[in-house]
A and B are shown apart, each in its own frame.
Chain A
Amino acid sequence: MKILVPVKRVVDYNVKVRVKADGTGVETAGVKMSMNPFDEIAIEEAVRLKEKGVATEIVAISIGVAACSETIRTALAMGADRGVLVETDMAVEPIAVAKMLKALVEKEQPQLVILGKQAIDDDMSATGQMLAALLGWPQGTFASKVAVENGGITVTREVDGGLETVALTLPAVVTTDLRLNEPRYASLPNIRKARKKPIETMKPADLGVDPTPRLTVLRVTEPPKRRAGQKVGSVAELVMKLRTEAKVI
């Protein structure tokens, strides 16, 4: 079975994000970029399925600027077989990404698409669901456990108040939650080998999709600064302050 895994290039999770001076977005110039952590989990899951003999090929896809090929290389070093880069300088929104992925699914004919449940930059949590809807495929979102058996797939989902298990027929869309697995590192020899794996490059137009944004960003601002905490001397003082100053009780 073939698995597609889309991987997004985002500001590294260790970087303290700064708002651009003109308020149009966050600063990305000279900032360390990495693979969206949920996508690392998606790649890891696909690689594990390949190691179990369930999957035969893993294709990593990234949509965005030319440097997204670095993100694909990371996926290749972790164990994906080849990459597809859909290159555009536009800021792509989930619906445009989902449409391009749909076109790639039609071309590649995978049995499974594994995505991160959300990207840590805009936290939309939309692409996987949109893709499933466009394809008319079943979806298992926020997966904390995935098992492929008897031509179907069982997905344990993290939902409010507990776990829900759903059985899907293949082909299907799965999105990963944090506890699905702990992604491996790419070893240095595998990073080397990944440099030789193929990456195919195309444009959104090749997939028949116009990625022009439909949303307009009005303004991006820093959250208000947290004020310093206070130390209290006694429980009585705490209760008094909660009542008179914070006015919460």
Chain B
Amino acid sequence: MSDILDAIEQFLARDVVMHVHGLEKADAYPAEIVERMKALGLFGATIAPEYGGLGLPCGQYAQIVERIARVWMSLTGIFNSHLIMAAIVGRHGTDAQKHEFLPRFAVGELRGGLALTEPDCGTDLQAIRMTAKRDSDDYVINGTKTWISNGIYGQCFALLVKTDLSAQPRHQGMSMFLAEKGPGFTVGRKLEKLGYKGIDSAELIFDDYRIPADRLIGGVEGFGLKHALSGLELGRINVAARGVGVAQAALDESVKYAQLRKTFGKPIAQHQAIQLKLADMATRTEAARLLVGRAADFYDRGIRCDMEAGMAKLFATEAAMENSAEALRVHGGYGYSTDFPVERFYRDAPLLVIGEGTNEMQRIIIARQLIERSPV
């Protein structure tokens, strides 16, 4: 594994670090870096080797995500939802779907993501309104998705729809398609954001979009929500790994700055108020990393880990929030300046507490599991 992480570090040092500030300020899509990521093989990181991927276990993948997020969190979004889409196809797709799509996903020739959220609902996915109506060998899809990462530059999305509006329970009327851009599938506007710059978040509009029935993932209606949720454990561990990356980056910048900045005749690192901050930041980061490692280990061993992944996601993303705020304080006035990277961490971290299931929902999941696992 260390050879793979070395290659990631080399990629970051040679092709990423010097471009982050400019791309972030311009909110520009990192097209050249994406080409490098393709050449590196990142788009196939967790796809099975038989389809041309690396088949990395989740634990190793999480370490890669952490390293990249330390430098620029936005980059991790470009391959993560893509890989979750691939994981859903790998696990639930028909053989034909696996053979047609996974090799193209693995080399990054066909990239995309996950399209679940709609203007009126994100957490409560069973309330989505997008419909797919069967019409001989096709389905016809109508509705709008929003906040879709890779929406502009991606070409293919795992799309959650309703195939039966009257089903009870509601999830039995939900299905998932692999939708490639084409007539009737257009991109609305690019969404402007607090942070997470560079990566495209967009509205996707489906207006009588016709899709062949063989693009229904798994070939059977009614499993859409299940498919979507099956990708979420991996998604949560990934978001948690991003949290560790941002928390670590905030700590690293602070440890550096605290030794350089002097007040009252000594480096601020020698003032106890700063020492207390650094110690808490480091401890949080380390604890978050261990939680992520544990959840990933469960995942790799095939043990149910929604509670562990939820804990990792909750703790690591809150660590990113807290560390980025503390880093700002350690940097004094310069923390508030866009010439230093810490303000970027402070703007990026909040996405982590919202995406892949808000942290409120993580707490609810953890509590439910606690009760379910220890009934009286």
Contacts and interface: CB of A to CB of B under 8 A. Distances in A.
Interface residues of A, number: 14
B40 A70 contact: no
A74 B5 CA distance: 12
B367 interface: no
Contact of A186 (B7, B42, B44, B45): B7
Given A14-B13, A192-B54, A187 B40 contact: yes
Nearest to B39: A187
Contacts of B3: 70, 73-74, 77, 191, 194
A189 interface: yes
Interface string B9-45: 0110110000000000000000000001001111011
Contact of A189 (B13, B14, B54): B54
B42 A188 contact: yes
Nearest to A77: B3
Interface in A167-222: 185-189, 191-192, 194
A188 B13 contact: no
B4 A188 contact: yes
A226 to B, nearest CB: 16
A63 to B, nearest CB: 20
Nearest to A190: B41
Contacts of A14: 13
Interface residues of B, number: 16
B7 A189 contact: no
Q: DSSP class of A's interface residues: helix, strand, loop or mixed?
A: helix
Interface in A1-54: 14, 34
B7 A191 contact: yes
A70 B7 CA distance: 13
B57 to A, nearest CB: 13
Nearest to B53: A189
B4 A191 contact: yes
A77 B10 CA distance: 14
A185 B54 contact: no
Nearest to B107: A189
A167 B44 CA distance: 45
Contacts of A186: 7
A185 B6 CA distance: 11
User: Which of A70, A73, A192 has most chain B Cβ within 10 Å?
Assistant: A192
Contact of A185 (B7, B44, B45): B7
B251 to A, nearest CB: 19
A185 B42 CA distance: 13
Contacts of B11: 185
Interface in A133-190: 185-189
Contacts of A77: 3, 7
Nearest to B42: A188
Contacts of A74: 3, 6
A191 B11 CA distance: 14
A70 B1 CA distance: 12
B175 to A, nearest CB: 34
A14 B10 CA distance: 10
The 9 nearest A-B residue pairs measured at CB: A188-B41, A187-B41, A189-B41, A191-B3, A187-B40, A188-B54, A186-B7, A191-B4, A188-B4
Interface of B: 3-4, 6-7, 10-11, 13-14, 36, 39-42, 44-45, 54
Given A74-B3, A77-B7, 15 more contacts: A73-B3, A74-B6, A185-B40, A187-B7, A187-B39, A187-B41, A188-B4, A188-B7, A188-B40, A188-B41, A188-B54, A189-B54, A191-B3, A191-B7, A192-B54
8 contacts: A14-B13, A73-B3, A74-B6, A185-B11, A187-B39, A187-B40, A191-B3, A192-B54
